[in-house]
DNA sequence: CGTTCCCTTGAGACCGCTCAAAGACCGTGG
DNA sequence: CCACGGTCTTTGAGCGGTCTCAAGGGAACG
C-alpha cells in the first residue's frame, strides 16, 4: 500500500537543513543528541501516499523534513481537509496513549519524513522536560491554526475563504523560505482547496477567477504569485502577525 | 469589569468532586499534592463574564470546576464560537510562552474555576513528567474536538450541524453525569448555537423546529430532552465512540 | 405595565450547489 | 507521429439552501 523508501543516509539532526531557518528555535547540543537518538529512520514517500488513516492506532511520530502533507477527515462520501502541513510540522501526536488518530494524513507532494519511535516518547518527557514543553507548544500551535480555520469556515464568505487560504499558505510558506519574488510553488489542486474550505469545486474555481480578475493573484501551473499582498489580505479579512519562533523536533 | 469572587474555602484537590467521576483518571497522591500546590485559588464568575480576550498575554491557567464556558473568535462584527467547555476542561494553555491567546473565553453560566500559577508550569514539566504528559494529552484532545468541528462546518448541512451539536453536547455532558433521564440542562441560547455553527439565528431556529417535528428532541426552557438518540445520531451523521478516560488537572 | 431579551414566523433575495459539457494538458501505446 | 484516455480546469444554466429584513409573541423583571 505504501511505497515508502527507507533512506540509507539519514540527515543527521545537528545538520538538519530546517534548523538553519530563522523560524526555528536554537537548541542545545544535548537536546539535539536526544532527538537524534529518538529518530528511528527517515523515509521518502511519493505524492498521494496515505501516511495514516483516521482511526489508526500505533501510528509513528513524524516530522516533515521536506514536501507537503494534508490532514483529512471523511464523512460518508465527502471529505474535509483539516489543514496542510509543511516542513517542520510534527505529525501523529494524537495516536499517543492508545487513542486512535482523529484524522488521516496524506502526502500532497513527494515527502521526506523523519520517523520517531513512539515508545521513547515517555523518555523524552522524563528526561528532557524542555522538549516535552516543546511538544506541548506544537500541539497548542496546532490548536491555534485549527481555531483560525473554524473561524474561516464559520464566518468567512466563499470569496474570503479562498483569499484567506491562499494568503495563509503563502504566508506560512514564506517563513520557510519557500517564497521567491512573491511566487510560491503551490502543489494544490482546486479540488483540494475546495475540500479544505467546505466549498464545491465549481464555486472554488469561479471564485479563483474573481481573485485573478481583481489582480490580487496569479495562480496557474501549480504556481501562485501574489500581486498585491495588502489587497489580498484585505479581501481575506486576514491580519498579519509575527511568526513566532518555533521549536523543531 | 470582571465581578469575580475569590472563594475563601477552596475545594481541596484530593477531595475534588470531579475526581469521583469515572471519566477522569485516577491519580497518585504525590501528583495530587503537586496540583494542590500548583493551584493558586478558586474563583466564581457570573454568567456572561469575559474570562479572557483573544490576544491577551499573561493569562492564567484554569480548570473548569463547575459551569459552562465557551471559546470565541471575532471577525469584524461577526463572531464564531469555537467550542463549549464543561467541568474538567483546561483553559489558557495557549497563552504559555509569550504567545497571546488565539481565542477569547466567556462564561456561559455561572462558573467556578480553579486558577493555576503559570510560573509553576515549568516546575510541573521538570518535576512531574506524568502531569506534563497529561497536559499534552489534553491539548491533543482539544485538537481532536476542533477537527471534528471543522468537519461539521465544512461538510455537514445546516440540519446535520444542529443535530450534531445537540447530540455532541448531550453526549459530552453525559460523561460528566449531567444527563438525567435523557434530559440535560442546556444553558445555550439559539444565537449561541448559530454562532457555533456558522448559521444565522433565523435558520437555526427553523432547523430546531424541524428536529422537534421529527420527534428527535424536545428543547425549550434551557432544557434538552433527547427522545430518540439513535435517530438524532443518524440525522447528525455522528458516530458513537467510547469516551476515553481522561486526565484532570 | 413598560422594557428587554429571546424565540418564532413569513417573505423575498442571493450565494453557493449540482448537473452538464467542453477545453487544456499529459503520458501511453499503437 | 497521432490517437486515446485520464486528470484537472473552465464555463454555463438552473435550482435550492441559507441569508437578511421585518414583525410579532411570550416570559422575566423593575
Alpha carbons A226 and A216: distance in angstroms, whole number: 6
C-alpha angle A129-B103-B2 in degrees, rounded to nearest 5: 105
Q: Which residues make Cβ contacts (< 8 Å) with residue B20, sequence separation at least 6? A: none
Å separating the CA of residue B198 from the C1' of nucleotide C21: 34
B125 has a chain A CB within 8 A of its CB: yes
Residue of B nearest to A98 (CA): B244
Distance between CA atoms of B246 and B141, rounded to whole angstroms? 9
Query: What are B38's three cell numbers?
Result: 500548583
CB-count exposure of residue B3 (10 Å: 0-12, 13-18, 19+): exposed
pLDDT at residue B10, as a whole number: 85
| Shortest Cα distance, chain A CAs vs residue B11, angstroms | 28
Question: In this predicted model, what pLDDT tens digit does every residue of B58-78 receive, in sequence order?
Answer: 889 999 999 999 999 999 999
Q: How many CB atoms lie within 10 A of CB B5?
A: 12
A198–B contact, CB cutoff 8 A: yes
H helical segments located in chain B: 29-38, 121-127, 129-155, 158-175, 190-197, 201-213, 229-236
CA A126 to chain centre: 28
Task: Check if the beta carbon of residue A91 is closer than 8 Å to that of residue A121.
Answer: no
Is B246 strand, coil or helix?
Answer: strand
What tens digit of pLDDT does each residue of B188-208 get?
999 999 999 999 999 999 999
CB A71 to CB B147 under 8 A? Answer: yes
Q: For chain B, what is the mean pLDDT?
A: 95
Q: Which residue of A131, A140, A161, A163 to mutate against B (max B Cβ within 10 Å)?
A: A140
Q: What is the pLDDT at residue A4? A: 83
Distance CA(B241)–CA(B64), nearest Å, equals 24
Give the separation between CA B87 and CA B111, rounded to whole angstroms: 9
To the nearest 10 degrees (0 to 180), the angle between helices A190-197 and A201-213 is 110
Q: Is B9 on the interface with A (CB under 8 A)?
A: no
Closest partner residue to B151 (CB to CB) among A73, A126, A143 is A73
CA–CA min distance A35, chain B (Å)? 17
- CA-closest candidate to residue B14, choices B50, B46, B39: B39
Residue-wise pLDDT tens digits, A55-70: 999 889 999 999 999 9
Q: Computed over its alpha carbons, how large is the radius of gyration of chain B?
A: 18
| Structure confidence at residue B130 (pLDDT) | 96
Residue B12 has pLDDT above 60, yes or no: yes
**Per residue in A130-178, pLDDT tens?**
999 999 999 999 999 999 999 999 999 999 999 999 999 999 999 999 9
A140 touches chain B (CB under 8 A): yes
Low-confidence ranges of chain A (pLDDT < 70): 1-2, 97
Closest CA to A79 of A105, A57, A61, A100: A105
pLDDT above 60: residue B2: no
pLDDT of residue B1 exceeding 50: no
Question: What average pLDDT does the structure give for chain A?
Answer: 95
Lookup: cell for B169? 453536547
Residue of chain A whose alpha carbon sits nearest to that of B194: A154
**Positions on chain D within 7 A of a protein C-beta:** 8-13, 17-22
CB distance A72 to A104 below 8 Å: yes
Residue A246 pairs in a beta bridge with A24
Contact present, B133 and A132 (Cβ < 8 Å): yes
Report pLDDT for A1: 44
Q: Which of A122, A143, A154 sits opposite B80 (nearest CB)?
A: A154
Task: Check residue B243 and give its pLDDT.
Answer: 86
Collapse the DSSP code of B80 into the 3-class scheme (helix H, G, I; strand E, B; otherwise coil) and give the result. strand
- Are the C-beta atoms of residues A49 and A107 closer than 8 Å to each other? yes
Please check whether strand D approaches the CB of B157 to within 7 Å.
yes
Q: Check CB contact of B235 with chain A, cutoff 8 Å.
A: no
* Interchain contact, B154 vs A102, CB within 8 Å: no
Query: Strand C: which positions are within 7 A of a protein CB?
Result: 6-11, 15-20
**Whole-angstrom Cα distance, residue B95 to residue A140?**
9
What would the grid cell of residue A71 be? 490532514
Q: Measured in whole angstroms, how far is the alpha carbon of residue A249 from the centre of its chain?
A: 14
pLDDT for res A83: 98
Amino acid at each position: 500500500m505504501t511505497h515508502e523508501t527507507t533512506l540509507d543516509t539519514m540527515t543527521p539532526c545537528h545538520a538538519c537543513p530546517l534548523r538553519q531557518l530563522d523560524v526555528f528555535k536554537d537548541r542545545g547540543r544535548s537536546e539535539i543528541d536526544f532527538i537524534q537518538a529518538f529518530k528511528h529512520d527517515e523515509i521518502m514517500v511519493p505524492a498521494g501516499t496515505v501516511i495514516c488513516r483516521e482511526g489508526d492506532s500505533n501510528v509513528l511520530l513524524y516530522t516533515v523534513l521536506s514536501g507537503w502533507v494534508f490532514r483529512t477527515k471523511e464523512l460518508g462520501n465527502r471529505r474535509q481537509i483539516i489543514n496542510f502541513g509543511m516542513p517542520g510540522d510534527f505529525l501523529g501526536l494524537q495516536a499517543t496513549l492508545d487513542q486512535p488518530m482523529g484524522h488521516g494524513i496524506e502526502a500532497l507532494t513527494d515527502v521526506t519524513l523523519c520517523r520517531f519511535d513512539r515508545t521513547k516518547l515517555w523518555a523524552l518527557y522524563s528526561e528532557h522536560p524542555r522538549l516535552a514543553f516543546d511538544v506541548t507548544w506544537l500541539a497548542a500551535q496546532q490548536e491555534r491554526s485549527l481555531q483560525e480555520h473554524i473561524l474561516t469556515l464559520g464566518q468567512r464568505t466563499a470569496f474570503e475563504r479562498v483569499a484567506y487560504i491562499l494568503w495563509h499558505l503563502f504566508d506560512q510558506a514564506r517563513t520557510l523560505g519557500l517564497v521567491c519574488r512573491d511566487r510560491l510553488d503551490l502543489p494544490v489542486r482546486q479540488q483540494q482547496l475546495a475540500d479544505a474550505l467546505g466549498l464545491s469545486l465549481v464555486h472554488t474555481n469561479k471564485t479563483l477567477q474573481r481573485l485573478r480578475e481583481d489582480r490580487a493573484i496569479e495562480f496557474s501551473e501549480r504556481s501562485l504569485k501574489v500581486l498585491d499582498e495588502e489587497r489580498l489580505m484585505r479581501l481575506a479579512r486576514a491580519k498579519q502577525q509575527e511568526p513566532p519562533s518555533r521549536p523543531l523536533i
